[in-house]
Structure 1
Amino acid sequence: MQNYSGFMGGLYAVAEWIMRFSIVNFLWIIINLPILLLTIMMVFAPSTVELVALSVPLIILLPLLFYPSTIAVYASARDWTMGKDTSSLLRTYWIYMKESYKKSVWAGILLTLIWIIWTIDFFYLKDQHSLFGIIMIIIGLALLVFTINYFCLSVHYFMTNKELFKNAFLITIGNPLHFFAVLLISASILYMSFRLWFLFPFFTVSVISFMTFFSFYRFTLKIEKKAQEFKNR
């Protein structure tokens, strides 16, 4: 890596971060292209029958493509947060996806089932009473944070999926500051991506992953510090 100082150093650092975000984000887009196309087709589906028909391959592809590829993005984001230098973003991303593929597929199956249950309950209950709809939205936001916490834990600690799900749940309900930080980060970046659609292919997923992992990492450092202080008493 070349060393620069002053203005050139700052320019080089910005260019390096843009390259990191864009390459990893674009890799994620390529892998998830079938899922994205199915999602777009579902949005414009003219009937419920076609919507249900399109949801079947989507449900199958989510554990096989979405979760392994997203965990690989978070693993890359962990490297950036920890200051780890990687010689090849493409090679490193592929290694992370390959190494965790089996484990992430099984986790993806369970997470997909949970999200399916939430989706069915949401569309059913929101028509029963507006209060139920609000409650399901709150549950959905908590489920989103839980899923992101699972991603962060899976790339930062060596645990079984059972332990990862348990700890992701405890972090989700146990730290309101981190909870709202994850929501704010995700919502802000997604809002900007909807307004400036050209950001999505290059930055959206990778930036969300980096910023939410950074929040998670700061949270874990505080927990580890408190645990060490308690141990030294």
Structure 2
Amino acid sequence: MTRMEGLFIGVYRIGEWVARLAYINFLWMMCTIIGLGLFGFFPATAASFAVFRKWFLDEDKDFYIGKTYWGYFKENLKTANILGYMLLLIGLFLYFDLRFFQTAISHPIFSLISAVFLVLIFLFFIVLLIIFPIFVHYDFKMKDYLKYSLILIIGHPFHTAKVLLSFIVVYLIYSHIPILFFMFGSSILFGVLMWVSCLAFPKEEITVEKVGQN
């Protein structure tokens, strides 16, 4: 292979990934709208992670993105919404409890409780970053997704640090180059989080998967 051929192949692959990221973002927006926002956001998010997982772990990279995405969206419409709204309720509970103790009468015990809730909210934020990669990777009972997320966060601090660093890097990139956000939206973040999570999942458990044979 000549240097020029290698350059063309490299440019082609970059263009291919740019198109894929833009297409997944388009599918995510369309499926969110189809679900009227309230019922489409979480299944669309799960479907995005599922497509990225398939790219990173399957030997066959040349699958139909739209067909795979739509199939996963329909198949997990109910379960993804249950998981998503369970997380929403937990988040609201933590937020309003924190606000209550922060605005309560000044007392050392209330300050301590507020600090505890701040730690819990921080842990919950990390859970939000990794729970959908876990959801599309494993076939657990609903309550076990949250439990495994916490096990992964506490038991693998190096992975937790990589997840947070990934989020920060993507956030900074979007902040300094806003046009990338309008082009790719959430797809870059979803792809990075799925890739980091795949590196952390035990190799012997990769066979336990939820991604359908689309």
> Hey, which of these two has a bigger chunk of helix by percent?
1
One-letter code of the match for 1:98? K
Structure 1 position 27 matched with structure 2 position 63: no
Structure 1 position 106 matched with structure 2 position 49: no
Superposition misfits of 4+ residues, deviation over 3 angstroms: 30-35, 122-138, 221-225
TM-score calculated relative to the size of structure 1: 0.72
One-letter code of the match for 1:92? T
One-letter code of the match for 1:28? W
Whole-angstrom distance in 2 between the partners of 1:93 and 1:201: 21
Report 1:144-155 matches (<5 A).
Answer: 144-155=125-136
- Superposition deviation, residue 147 in structure 1: 2.4
Structure 1 position 203 matched with structure 2 position 214: no
Deviation string 1:103-148 (CA, Å, 9 cap, x unpaired) is 1111122111011112223433444578766654443232122123
Q: Which moved more, 1:94-103 or 1:161-170?
A: 161-170
Report 1:55-204 matches (<5 A).
Answer: 61=38, 64-83=39-58, 84-127=60-103, 135-204=116-185
- Gap change, CA 1:159 and 1:34, over 3 Å in 2: closer
Q: Which moved more, 1:139-148 or 1:104-113?
A: 139-148
Provide the residue aligned with 2:9 in structure 1.
Answer: 9
One-letter code of the match for 1:74? F
Residue segments in structure 1 that go unaligned for 5+ positions in a row? 36-56, 226-233
Deviation string 1:188-219 (CA, Å, 9 cap, x unpaired) is 21232233322223334212112112111111
CA-atom RMSD, angstroms?
A: 2.9
**Kept after mapping to 2: 8 A contact 1:25/1:201:** no
TM-score calculated relative to the size of structure 2: 0.78
- Superposition deviation, residue 34 in structure 1: 9.9
Q: Which moved more, 1:203-212 or 1:19-28?
A: 203-212
Residue segments in structure 2 that go unaligned for 5+ positions in a row? 207-214
- Gap change, CA 1:166 and 1:73, over 3 Å in 2: same
Provide the residue aligned with 1:48 in structure 2.
Answer: none
- Report how many residues are paired: 197
Deviation string 1:129-173 (CA, Å, 9 cap, x unpaired) is 787666544432321221232211111122221222221221122
Q: Which moved more, 1:134-143 or 1:74-83?
A: 134-143
**Kept after mapping to 2: 8 A contact 1:122/1:136:** yes
Whole-angstrom distance in 2 between the partners of 1:138 and 1:195: 29
Whole-angstrom distance in 2 between the partners of 1:99 and 1:186: 28
Whole-angstrom distance in 1 between the partners of 2:9 and 2:102: 53
Match of 2:140, SS state, is coil
Whole-angstrom distance in 2 between the partners of 1:191 and 1:137: 23
Match of 2:201, SS state, is helix
Whole-angstrom distance in 2 between the partners of 1:29 and 1:195: 23
Whole-angstrom distance in 1 between the partners of 2:56 and 2:64: 17
